[in-house]
Amino acid sequence: MEQSKIDRINELARKSKTPAGLTAEEKEEQFRLRREYIAEWRAATEATLDNVYVVDDKGNERKLRKKD
């Protein structure tokens, strides 16, 4: 995610804590940006876990599997 979008998420978070709060448009923007951030974080985490192997007591390596 672009740094400018992360900065905007933080800016909206700070503004939401003020007495003025966020407008409806800003709340929608905050929601969209947070969803985008989480989606990118999940994709990166899954890509990392796709390259993780577990070694058992006998020294055998096996890939992690997704839970059902």
pTM for this prediction? 0.76
CA separation, residue 53 to residues 42, 43, 48, 64, 65 (Å): 19, 18, 11, 6, 10
**Backbone angles phi and psi of 61, in degrees to 5:** -100, 140
pLDDT in tens, 22-61: 999 999 999 999 999 999 999 999 999 999 999 999 999 9
CA angle, residues 46, 52, 56, in degrees to nearest 5: 140
Classified as helix, coil or strand, 68 is coil
Residue ranges covered by each domain of the chain: 3-63
CATH 1.10.287 fits 3-63, yes or no: yes
